[in-house]
């Protein structure tokens, strides 16, 4: 894939993960991180540029969803789960 495209994908990937870390709810946080990693891994060998374009568009839209939902999750946060401890995902 083109160098600029590759950089773009990596930027989006990092942004998605970074934003997902901000979920205060354990289950949403772990799901988002896991899902993003698995989705990017699954699509890492896609060569068709139209397909890549489409996937990037979806990723950008998902980033915006995560940004909004992280905000709400933090506004309405509650106690941690019994298995969470400081430093744990």
Residues that bind other proteins (CB under 8 A): 26-28, 30-32, 35, 38, 65-66, 68-69, 72-84
Min. distance of Cβ 79 from other proteins in angstroms?
A: 5
**Closer of 3 and 75 to other proteins (Cβ):** 75
Nearest distance from residue 4's CB to other proteins, in Å? 28
* Of 1 and 13, CB closest to other proteins: 13
If you search the block for the tokens 């949403």, which residue do you land on?
Answer: 28
* Smallest distance from other proteins to CB 36, Å: 12
Place of tokens 């905000």: 71
13 and 32 in contact (C-beta within 8 Å)?
no
Distances (CA, A) of 26 to 30, 36, 50, 55, 85: 6, 16, 35, 27, 11
């Amino acid at each position: 894939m083109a160098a600029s495209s590759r950089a773009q994908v990596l930027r989006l990937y990092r942004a998605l993960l970074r934003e997902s870390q901000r979920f205060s709810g354990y289950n949403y946080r772990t799901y988002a991180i896991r899902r993003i990693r698995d989705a990017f891994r699954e699509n890492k060998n896609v060569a068709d540029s139209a397909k890549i374009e489409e996937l990037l568009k979806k990723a950008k839209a998902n980033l915006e969803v995560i940004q909004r939902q992280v905000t709400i999750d933090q506004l309405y946060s509650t106690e941690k789960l019994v298995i969470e401890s400081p430093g744990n995902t």
